[in-house]
Amino acid sequence: MNLQRSTFCRPIRRQQLDIIGIQHPLFSAELALQGAQLLNFQPQGDPPWLWLSEQADYLQGSSVRGGIPVCWPWFGDLRRNPQAVQQHFQGNGSSAPAHGLARTALWQLSALKEDVHQVDLTLATQQLSRLWPTMSAQLHITLRRDRLVLRLNSRNDSPNPVTISQALHTYLPVEDIRTVTVGGLQGNTYIDALDDWQSRQQQGLVRFSAETDRIYHSQGPLRLQSGQHSRTLVSNSASTVVWNPWINKSQRLSQFHPDAWQRMVCIETTNAAFDCVALQPGQQHSLQLQLT
């Protein structure tokens, strides 16, 4: 889609990636066409709502560290997914890219609506690999002064049932991870990916004192509190991933300053583990996140 007639959007080239820059009177944002990845969002007068690495690279075939990567049609390491998901990949599972095929694919801007209050964008991708059943995805993004809404629609275009896992892998900025709390998960069970995938129960608010990588059973809004700032996340999924790499893992991560773990946390809207999505031929599914 040509942006020449757009009032608020313009094309940007950053290193190897094409980006849509959005300058609205009420907010600004940037969206990479590779991966349909929202890189930043900043309402007028607010600090950025999303965390983006100061060492981010904008390279073809590599997801940018930060923003909201789209993980689809599987989440994380394919080999850690349920067999119902793994069975669809027609290749060596050890060579399957982490977090699926979509986050490094080139998406197309298929619709754009603008007015004085908001900007709505729709991006679409078709079949991504012959190694996966025929599927298509659309990402709808709504930007407003007081909220950010993403809706990831999946459609099974193959003649057979397909099971997927997926995520909107949201990176959020914090003042100091050691003082951060996440509410809304009290009493919920979670899978601890750092403790042999054992099941645990959350006691009180989520707090951070070490590397954290958990898949929570979650329903209802989540509240991130960082100093005087808070964010509320509302989704329609039954699973949420909470992740922070802490000190040691930060030394090994790409596009990541060794002390950046102190200033970010991921609260990821997922359909993962126990919450995977089975789609019959022609069936669609929508994963939605609202951030306020």
Does residue 1 form part of some domain? Answer: no
Give the integer Cα–Cα distance in Å for 239 and 235.
Answer: 9
CATH code for the domain of 249: 2.70.98.10
* Catalytic member of 24, 99, 169, 217: 169
217 a catalytic residue: no
Does residue 100 form part of some domain? Answer: yes
Look at the chain and report how many structural domains it folds into.
1
**pLDDT given for residue 174 in this prediction:** 99
Domain that holds residue 259: 9-291
- The alpha carbon of residue 238 and the mean position of all alpha carbons in its chain are separated, in whole angstroms, by 15
Does residue 154 form part of some domain? Answer: yes
Burial code (b: 16+ CB inside 10 Å, e: under 16) for 79-91 equals ebbeeebbebbee
**pLDDT given for residue 4 in this prediction:** 84
Does residue 2 form part of some domain? Answer: no
Give the integer Cα–Cα distance in Å for 153 and 73.
Answer: 11
Burial class of 68 by CB neighbour count within 10 A (0 to 12, 13 to 18, 19+): buried
- Please report, to the nearest 10 degrees, the dihedral formed by the alpha carbons of residues 200, 203, 206, 210 taken in order: -60
pLDDT string in tens for the chain (292-residue length): 779 889 999 999 999 999 999 999 999 999 999 999 999 999 999 999 999 999 999 999 999 999 999 999 999 999 999 999 999 999 888 889 999 999 999 999 999 999 999 999 999 987 788 899 999 999 999 999 999 999 999 999 999 999 999 999 999 999 999 999 999 999 999 999 999 999 999 999 999 999 999 999 998 899 999 999 999 999 999 999 999 999 999 999 999 999 999 999 999 999 999 999 999 999 999 999 999 9
Does residue 196 form part of some domain? Answer: yes
Does residue 3 form part of some domain? Answer: no
268 a catalytic residue: yes
* Catalytic member of 24, 88, 99, 268: 268
**pLDDT given for residue 129 in this prediction:** 85
Q: Which residue type, as a one-letter code, is found at position 214?
A: R
CA distances from 26 to 137, 229, 255, 259 (A): 29, 20, 30, 32
- The alpha carbon of residue 196 and the mean position of all alpha carbons in its chain are separated, in whole angstroms, by 24
Does residue 66 form part of some domain? Answer: yes
DSSP tag of 107:
P
List alpha helices for 41-95, DSSP H: 83-86
Does residue 40 form part of some domain? Answer: yes
